[in-house]
Amino acid sequence: MRVFILAGEPSGDRLGGALMQGLRQLVPDVEFDGIGGPMMTGQGLQSRFPMSELSVMGLTEVLPKFLHLKRRIAETAQAVLEMKPDVLITIDSPDFSLRVAKLVKAQSTIRTVHYVAPSVWAWRPGRADKMAKVIDHVLALLPFEPPYMERAGMECDFVGHPVAADPVASAEEIAALRTDLELGDAPVLLALPGSRRGEIERLAPVFGAALVAFLKDRPEMRVVVPAVPHVVELVQAQTADWPGNPVILDPRGLDSDAAAMRKRASFAMADLALAASGTVSLELAAQNTPMVIAYKLSWLTQKIAERMVKLDTVTLVNLVSESRVVPECLGLDCTPENVAAALATLQADPSGQAEAMTQTMERLGRGGEAPGLRAAGAVLKRMQG
């Protein structure tokens, strides 16, 4: 079996790594080609170019790189056509993935699978109809998504989310990380300003100013900032003047298992977290870490989003648990004052999110078949008719 697989950002790389592992378990002689990050290369993929080239988000962020991305789209589509795989699997990053799929479909009958359903339940419902022209099968992370995809004419399977299969960090792993980072028994605030350069540059100043206000009366609290490999130096620069003597969790030089273990341990040892919007809210929920979500887009992208978004929350824990217990500071409300106030309220009652986090993990498949294996099985079953 020959598979061309591509991901454009760390969350997609994680999904891709788990899916590749599942496919290899079911079809030991499977061959992979494509684009991915450390999780996917750890499963044997030789990425055609660095995945970090695709980690951009928002209109004003994409425009300066448009010509380069357009070349990469054409180059990737041509590689798929030359390989003639049994299936093309694209993972999230729809601006890149679906353009590649469109070019491939225009010149072949190669089967296309897209992993991560577009959030048509939140904004731009017409995307499902457009996607159905180039995608045969969708792998959905959230249990309520298949009807939206099927209504547009695509096959769709809910396969759960790999985060639901994550082990909870052990007391020994937490103690070892505390020792390694020289934290002693200090309370810990986890800060996660994102994995893309643009969002880090927008959010880090807000996070830093919020921490100045929040930590003024909490001098004993330490700040830990996990970073993905391609932005470690940027995170170090952006957090240099933060209070709380921040420790940057640098995964470079570690294998993927060791890096994942340290990240889980950092999440689990934290008393509370301040995070950008995205998959990270599920990772925090998996480790039972109470959180505040803060996010803002560039001015133009924000104005466009305000006209399109149909929901009153963007946090996946809130959506999957059908609650609104995770506080959000979004758009114009993403200010240091609001973020600091939300952190103070959360610290006063951190247990209020526990039930929603547990329910989220259960609904995403915790305790069931590993999502990567489940996704692999869905791909193979649909291919066989």
pTM as predicted: 0.77
- CA 41/CA 255 separation, integer angstroms: 11
The helix (run of H) or strand (run of E) holding residue 68 is helix 66-83
Question: Residue 147's beta-bridge partner residues?
Answer: none
The helix (run of H) or strand (run of E) holding residue 119 is none
Residue 355 pLDDT class (50, 70, 90 cuts): very high
157 φ/ψ angles, rounded to the nearest 5 degrees: -130, 135
Contacts of 15 by beta carbon, 8 Å cutoff, 6+ apart: 7, 91, 92, 115, 116, 141, 162, 372, 375
Residue pair 116/146 in contact (Cβ under 8 Å)? The answer is no
Closest CA to 8 of 95, 131, 123, 137: 95
Q: What is the pLDDT of residue 196?
A: 86
Joined tokens for residue 113: 């699978």
Q: What is the pLDDT of residues 180-200, one digit of tens each?
A: 999 999 999 999 999 889 899
Residue pair 367/19 in contact (Cβ under 8 Å)? The answer is no
Q: What is the pLDDT of residues 87-139, one digit of tens each?
A: 999 999 898 999 999 999 999 999 999 999 988 765 567 889 999 999 999 99
